[in-house]
Amino acid sequence: MRLTEFWRRMYEHFGEAYAESFASDHVMSELGGRTVRQALEAGWEAKDVWRVVCDSQGVSALLR
């Protein structure tokens, strides 16, 4: 998954403003105690981060 597709799905699920806030502020144990942005910067694949977000936030099956 490309980062552009990752962010498109984040914006679609959360809305643009909340997606940015969630990605920067919400620490997730499933990401090793990192935020979404920190995990991506640490080298996590976008598809793996997206799966964590989907599983923890109840993302619609249509966006998975």
Residue that the structure tokens 């694949």 belong to: 45
Indicate the SS3 state at residue 28: strand
The 8-class DSSP code of residue 29 comes to G
Share of the chain above pLDDT 90, in %: 88
Kindly indicate the confidence band of residue 7, based on its pLDDT and cuts at 50, 70 and 90. Answer: very high
34-62 pLDDT, tens digit per residue, is: 999 999 999 999 999 999 999 999 887 77
pTM of the predicted protein model: 0.89
